[in-house]
Amino acid sequence: MSSISKHHRELNESGEGKCSVPMWSGGCPNGFCDNAAYGEPEFSQRAINRVTGQTYRLDGRYDGYVPGLACHAHGGPRVRTFMDGSAWCAVLPDFINLQESNAGFGETREAAIAQLGYQP
C-alpha cells in the first residue's frame, strides 16, 4: 500500500480523503477514482458461489480491489465523521457547515451517526 498517496490512505482532520480504487483505460492504469472517501470499505458478510468458487459480498456492494480509502460507490461509508472539540460529529455528503447542515454528535462515532438519524 506504500505506492498510493497519503490522501488515499488517511483521512484529514475533517474526516475526508480520496477513493483509492484504481481506474483503467485500454487495459492500462489510469489513476484512481479520487471521489470523496470517508473511510475504508464497510464490512459485509460473504458467501461463496458453488459453481465458480468465488466469494461475493451479501450486501451487493462493490467487491473489487480497494487498497485504502473507498468512496460510497466503492463500498465505503456514506457518513463522514470527525472530531469537533471533544465530541464526534457525523454529517452527510451534502454537508456545508454546522449552521446550515444536519449533524449528529456523540461520545463515539456510532453515537454521532445514531443521533444524525442516518439509515443505510
* Nine-digit cell string for 86: 471533544
Segment 56-92, tens digit of pLDDT? 999 889 999 999 999 999 999 999 999 999 999 999 9
Residues 88 and 64 reside in one and the same domain:
no
Residues 72 and 35 reside in one and the same domain:
yes
pLDDT at 1: 42
Residues 18 and 53 reside in one and the same domain:
yes
Residues pairing with 25 in the sheet: 28
Segment 7-60, tens digit of pLDDT? 999 999 989 999 999 999 988 889 999 999 999 998 889 999 999 999 999 988
d(CA 71, CA 33): 8
d(CA 74, CA 46): 16
- For residue 18, give the H/E element and its range: strand 17-18
pLDDT at 29: 86
pLDDT at 20: 95
Residues 10 and 61 reside in one and the same domain:
yes
Mean per-residue pLDDT for 90-109? 92
Domain of 105? Answer: 78-120
Residues 37 and 56 reside in one and the same domain:
yes
Mean per-residue pLDDT for 90-97? 90
Residues 89 and 56 reside in one and the same domain:
no
Residues 108 and 66 reside in one and the same domain:
no
d(CA 49, CA 8): 31
Please give the residue that has the higher pLDDT: either 118 or 19. Answer: 19
d(CA 74, CA 61): 7
